Amino acid sequence: MSSLLITGISELTTVDVEARVLGDAAVVIEAETIKWIGSAKAAPTTDRRVDIGGRAMLPGWVDSHSHLVFAGDRAAEFVARMAGEPYAAGGIAVTVDATRTVGADQLRELVETRVWEALLGGTTCMETKTGYGLDVEHERQAAMLAEEFVDEVTFLGAHVVPDGISADDYVDLVCAEMLSAVAPHAGWIDVFCETGAFDVDQSRRVLEAGRAAGLGLRVHGNQLGHSGGVALAVEMGAASVDHCNYLSEGDIAALAQSDTVATVLPACDLSTRAPFAPARQLLDAGASIAIASNCNPGTSYTSSMNFCVATAVLQMGLTLDEAVAAATRGGARALRRSDVGQIAVGSRADLHVLDAPSATHLAYRPGMPLSWAVWRAGVPYGIEIPGH
């Protein structure tokens, strides 16, 4: 089996258990796996080698919250929001209508393009959700399509209540026929526990049904107010509760005492002009956090994790090391994965090379195209490897 030695690493940020940052480092990968890490001077002999020219390397981003299966855009909604209109969950219906009208081939092309854009920006492990179908057939189609392109698929039939049906009747549909159709193609179930979407009791029903079907639990919670989504996520042992803009001291304490990861979405907070999620307070209390893109057409139309990390440093009070950890190992924790989000022997060979000598440049030079090369599961993108 062919092995590759990567040298010329000015700074290697491992985000592993030891949280090592190594200078003049080298990495050996074999097939899909990291086989060795250490000083370039002590590097073993391999079949091939490549020098990345004094650039920084860190784990590939783990984007644990996105909504990629959609058509159309909501630029008009964005313009209105920038003019002062508040964000409300009802705009999702616009995307549902647009998504239902396109053919499967066009939708597949849109999803593939978005995943490719994310990969070239350093995202090597990605979750995405259904939720723009909101009927049995379109939700099943979305899950099957997502399954083709991303690592983790989440069923979000309980995104909003579509027109022409009561909330309770729609929850009945989500928990029965829709769940049965989608569950074979998904690993997770999610619910938007929020004003304008689903209340705590309805959300609990959705999560209980998903758990009975063998799916892991995720929650959209406390984005627009104190919705009860965070408390519900902790109560039910959800892997992650996402948004977390409005947290009480009790919410923060509950998260800190639980295994539920608080996933913050900096680009969404900027776009909706919401208060930033209290990432600093969560970390200081001992909670686990993740940073994700929330790529979607309404509130966060970006898959750039570089941008999200920079925003977390510049606007949310995190250090660069904390933000990188939240966007890599934190995302892996939110997906209950141990094979990604770190550069460690035995982990998947997901590597992100910056066109900069240090990861600090992510926040020091915000908005610049710093992703120089990426390996995902040992496959290189953006760089020519001799003999590859």
Average pLDDT over residues 325-344: 98
Angle, helix 136-149 to helix 92-101, in steps of 10 degrees: 80
For CATH 2.30.40.10, the residue range(s) in the chain are 3-59+341-381
pLDDT for the residue 384: 83
For the stretch 275-300, pLDDT in tens is 999 999 999 999 999 999 999 999 99
Q: Which residue has the tokens 């107010």?
A: 225
User: Could you tell me which of 350, 336, 346 has the C-alpha nearest to residue 380?
Assistant: 350
Spatial separation of the C-alpha atoms in residues 263 and 66, rounded to whole Å: 12
Average pLDDT over residues 111-121: 98
Task: Report the share of the chain in percent with pLDDT over 70.
Answer: 99
Radius of gyration of the chain (CA): 21
Q: How confident is the model at residue 268 (pLDDT cuts 50, 70, 90)?
A: very high
CATH class of segment(s) 3-59+341-381: mainly beta
> What is the chain's percent helix, strand, coil content, to nearest 5?
40, 25, 35
For the stretch 297-312, pLDDT in tens is 999 999 999 999 999 9
Structure-block tokens of residue 86: 């508040």
For the stretch 67-77, pLDDT in tens is 999 999 999 89
For CATH 3.20.20.140, the residue range(s) in the chain are 62-334
Average pLDDT over residues 253-271: 98
Residues 6+ apart with CB under 8 A from 162: 93, 96, 134, 135, 170
3-state SS assignment for residue 78: helix
Q: How confident is the model at residue 388 (pLDDT cuts 50, 70, 90)?
A: low
CATH class of segment(s) 62-334: alpha beta
pLDDT for the residue 386: 73
Distances (CA, A) of 331 to 146, 221, 261, 337, 346: 18, 17, 9, 9, 18
The number of angstroms, rounded, from the C-alpha of 89 to the middle of its chain's C-alpha atoms is 20
Kind plus residue range of the DSSP H or E element containing 379: strand 379-381
Residues 6+ apart with CB under 8 A from 361: 56, 354, 368, 370
pLDDT for the residue 85: 86
For the stretch 3-38, pLDDT in tens is 999 999 999 999 998 889 999 999 999 999 999 999
For the stretch 124-175, pLDDT in tens is 999 999 999 999 999 999 999 999 999 999 999 999 999 999 999 999 999 9
Q: In what order do the strands lie in the sheet with 289-291?
A: 61-63, 123-129, 152-158, 188-193, 216-221, 240-243, 261-264, 289-291
Higher pLDDT, 90 or 235: 235
**pLDDT tops 70 at residue 89:** no
- Tell me the average pLDDT of the chain: 96
pLDDT for the residue 91: 85
Q: How confident is the model at residue 355 (pLDDT cuts 50, 70, 90)?
A: very high
pLDDT for the residue 150: 98
Spatial separation of the C-alpha atoms in residues 364 and 64, rounded to whole Å: 24
